[in-house]
Amino acid sequence: MRILIIEDDAEAAAYLAKGLKEVGHVADHASDGESGLEMALDVAYDVLIVDRMLPKRDGLSVIEALRAQSNQTPVLILSALGQVDDRVKGLKAGSDDYLPKPYAFTELLARVEALGRRPKAGGEVATTYQVGELILDRMAHSCRRGDKEITLQPREFRLLEYLMQHAGQVVTRTMLLENVWEYHFDPQTNVIDVHISRLRGKIDKDFDRPLLHTIRGAGYSIRDMAD
């Protein structure tokens, strides 16, 4: 993916760019809002990573200007403020995701990849997801793996749906909390792990090959390793 980092902290930006390149992405860097906006309009990036506070032009205003020119490139906003109302402001301005600073690189990477591979706005959304022999039918609210019908609780269904929507990608615990439970705070107990292990008990137990993998230090990923 081609990614633009608009961040005035040169060291943080260099670290970010290095990390993104290591996993095979192309990363450009702009150090202020004005040049960042110019680059974002010139080049077709897959994802923009925008700091909230920037010299010359505020991060939110960069996003607003982009959206005003019908540029729909997904934007991840980074902010040191990290408060509920601040996140709402960012999303209102047109950003697609929000990550408070300081962040873990794995968390940022997972979110950037999720944004970059998101179906384009207005595009067809698949009604069924498939990973290996696991099939989730969103219309019929049913799930099966091979010949076996799997009964899921509503929340388990949404959890699996989100995981399969991002099949092959890493999904962090925070992303799951935000998108499946719609909570934007971190419980101390790792509640997500318990839910994942229950889900795993339903879709992976009694099958020879596991589909739901734990990615150490990052989160979870659903993928068929045989692919």
Partner 1 sequence: MRTTAFKLSFLYLVVFTALSGFLLIYISRTTNQIMAAQVVQTVDAEITGLSEEYVRGGVRALVESMERRARRPDASLYLLVDFAGNPLVGNIPQLPTIVLEEADGDVQRMRYTRSTGEGSTESGEALVRIFELRGGYRVLVGRDLGEQQRFANVFSDALQFWLISVILMAGATWFFVSRRVMKRIDGIAATSRTIMEGDLTRRLPVAGNGDEFDRLAGNLNDMLERIELLMQGMTEVTDNIAHDLKTPLNRLRTRVETALREAKTDDDYRQAMEATLDDSDGLIRIFDALLRIARVEAMSPEAGMGPVDLSAVVEEVADLYQPVLEDLGGSLDVDVAQGQTVLGNRELIAQGLVNLIENGLKYGCADGEEAPRIEISTRLDKDRCAVSVRDHGAGIDNADMDRVSGRFVRLDKSRSQPGYGLGLSLVNAIARLHGGSLSLHNAAPGLNVSFDLKTIGTPESIDIKEGSQA
Minimum distance between the CB of residue 147 and partner 1, rounded to whole angstroms? 27
Q: Is the dihedral of CA 44, 49, 52, 55 positive or negative?
A: negative
Closer to partner 1 by CB, 104 or 126: give it.
Answer: 104
Nearer to partner 1, 34 or 64 (CB): 64
- CB distance 132 to 164 below 8 Å: no
Quick check: bond before 102 cis, omega within 30? yes
Residue 4 CB, shortest distance to partner 1, in Å, is 21
**Residue 119 or 146 having the CB closest to partner 1:** 119
Pairing of strands 142-145, 47-51: unpaired
- Taking the complex as a whole, how short is the minimal distance between the CB of residue 6 and partner 1, in angstroms? 21
Residues binding partner 1 (CB under 8 A): 82-85, 87-88, 91, 96-98, 100, 102, 104, 155, 178-179, 181-189, 191, 194-195, 198
Contact 161, 167 (CB under 8 A): no
H/E stretch holding 90? helix 84-93
Which residue number, 198 or 213, has a Cβ lying nearer to partner 1?
198
What is the nearest approach in angstroms of partner 1 to the Cβ of residue 32? 27
Angle between helices 84-93 and 59-68 (to 10 degrees): 30
Residue closer to partner 1 (CB basis): 84 or 140: 84
Least CB distance to partner 1 at residue 185 (A): 5
- CA dihedral angle for residue 163, residue 166, residue 169, residue 174, rounded to 10 degrees: -60
